């Protein structure tokens, strides 16, 4: 659809509803939702060399190193289905990853259209995270993920705001209303 952002990053803490919204927005825009978390979990499941390397890191709620993530994302964004746009869910998560993404886009003569931050209060995040707890998620790992987010990823909100790309959306609404709010921000020009 013309006039809508086509290269999009979703930012938000674990439990903010990012994965759910990524799928809904990507379907509406007919672009792939690219979740680095899903890609890494698939690698672990498949028992690939990458999976072997990152399995322990995922289980601990820590971040896979930036160089490995650069390889994963560079390969994925070079796939034909990403040629006309994509929505990134879970990448970038560090300043260095944001720089890598800028480099990939630059090399392709492309720009990031929008960064959407889904804003949810911290107490609510913990409550939700405990609610959707996977079998191998202990409360400790959940808290670790939030901590890692605050330290490494939250600063990207300022990074993208400074570049005029950021739009914040209230994540304390129904799933449908959050989707509507995001779509509105993606349709708005400038
Ligand atoms: P997610 O499903 O996005 O919460 O990701 C699950 C896990 O995969 C994270 O807790 C990290 O261990 C790892 N991971 C996913 N994306 C990244 C990334 N961009 N950088 C580093 N680690 C990541």
Please count the structural domains in the chain: 1
The yes-or-no verdict on residue 2 having pLDDT over 70 is no
Q: Is 128 a catalytic residue?
A: no
CA distance 47 to 14: 25
Nearest protein CA to atom 15 of ligand 1, as residue: 37
Ordered DSSP codes for 54-97: HHHHHHHT-PPPHHHHHHHHHHHHTSGGGTT-EEEES---SHHH
Tell me whether residue 144 is in a domain: yes
Task: Give the pLDDT score at 130.
Answer: 75
- Is residue 189, in this structure, part of any structural domain at all? no
CA-to-CA distance for 17 and 178, rounded, in angstroms? 9
> Which residue's CA lies nearest to atom 1 of ligand 1?
37
Range of the domain at 110: 7-34+86-183
Question: CA-to-CA distance for 78 and 176, rounded, in angstroms?
Answer: 31
Residues at CB less than 6 angstroms from ligand 1: 14, 36-37, 40, 57-58, 61-64, 69, 90-91, 93, 97, 145
The pLDDT mean for the chain works out to 92
CATH number, residue 167: 3.40.50.300
Q: Token pair of 5, please?
A: 């952002």
Distance CA 23, CA 132 (A): 17
DSSP state of 108: T
Its pTM stands at 0.93
pLDDT, tens only, 7-66: 999 999 988 999 999 999 999 999 999 999 999 999 999 999 999 999 999 999 999 999
Ligand 1 centroid to Cα of residue 133, in Å, is 16
């Amino acid at each position: 659809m013309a006039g809508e952002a086509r290269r999009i990053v979703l930012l938000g803490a674990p439990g903010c509803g990012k994965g759910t919204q990524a799928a809904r927005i990507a379907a509406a825009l007919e672009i792939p939702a690219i979740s680095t978390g899903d890609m890494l979990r698939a690698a672990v499941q498949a028992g690939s060399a990458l999976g072997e390397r990152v399995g322990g890191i995922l289980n601990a709620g820590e971040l896979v190193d930036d160089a490995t993530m650069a390889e994963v994302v560079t390969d994925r964004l070079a796939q034909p289905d990403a040629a006309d746009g994509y929505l990134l869910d879970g990448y970038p998560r560090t300043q260095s990853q944001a720089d890598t993404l800028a480099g990939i886009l630059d090399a392709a003569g492309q720009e990031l259209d929008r960064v959407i931050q889904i804003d949810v209060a911290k107490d609510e995040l913990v409550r939700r995270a405990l609610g959707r707890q996977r079998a191998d998620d202990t409360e400790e790992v959940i808290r670790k993920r939030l901590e890692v987010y605050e330290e490494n990823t939250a600063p990207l909100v300022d990074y993208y705001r400074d570049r005029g790309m950021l739009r914040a959306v209230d994540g304390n609404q129904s799933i449908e209303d959050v989707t509507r709010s995001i779509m509105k921000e993606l349709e708005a020009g400038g």
